[in-house]
Amino acid sequence: MGWVPEELDAVIHAPARLRVVASLAALGRGDEVAFPKLRKLLDMTAGNLSTHLRKLEDAGYVRVTKTHEGRVPATYLSLTETGRTAFADYQAALMDLLKGVQG
């Protein structure tokens, strides 16, 4: 099929994490989204989302900021520059594969 997953970033190339990264990439640089808002947007369970976020954080793609709003703990997520670059490269690799398939 010309579909060679080895060419693609394995950290991003999983539907759930791809959706996480795509959503965070829609944020402006310097912006963060709260965990509950992201969870609702993705319609994932908190545990599942946490697992994927940890993998992305370990890869250096996602920044997890833990803070307090009043007395309530809050967690904010954003893409790192590394994450943005990796996502851009991933999309470019997809485009190359697509061209390969069509051509």
Partner 1 sequence: MSDPTSDRPEGTGDAATLDPAETLRLIREQQAAARDAMEPDGRLLYGVWGLAWLIGYLCMWVSARDTGAPEVWAGGVFSGSIVGAMIFTIVHTTTRTAGTRGVSARVGVIYGWTWFLAFVALGVMLGAMADAGASPEVMAVAANGFASLIVGLMYIVGGLLFCANQMSVVGGWMLVTAVGAALAGMPHTYLVMAVAGGGGFLVMVAVEQYLRRRRGSSEPASARAEGGGLGA
CB of 82 to partner 1, least distance (A): 11
* Closer residue to partner 1 (CB): 19 or 71: 19
Q: Which residue has the tokens 């940890």?
A: 54
C-beta of residue 32 within 8 angstroms of C-beta of residue 38: no
Distance of CA 96 to the CA centre of its chain: 21
Cα 13 from Cα 99, distance rounded (Å): 18
* Closer residue to partner 1 (CB): 39 or 71: 39
- C-alpha Rg value of the chain to the nearest Å: 15
CB of 50 to partner 1, least distance (A): 12
* Closer residue to partner 1 (CB): 71 or 88: 88
Q: Which residue has the tokens 């693609």?
A: 8
36 binding partner 1? (CB under 8 A): yes
Cα 32 from Cα 101, distance rounded (Å): 37
Q: Which residues bind partner 1 (CB under 8 A)?
A: 1, 3, 5, 10-11, 13-19, 22-34, 36-37, 40-41, 43-45, 48, 51-52, 55, 76, 78-79, 84-85, 87-89, 91-92, 94-95, 97-98, 101
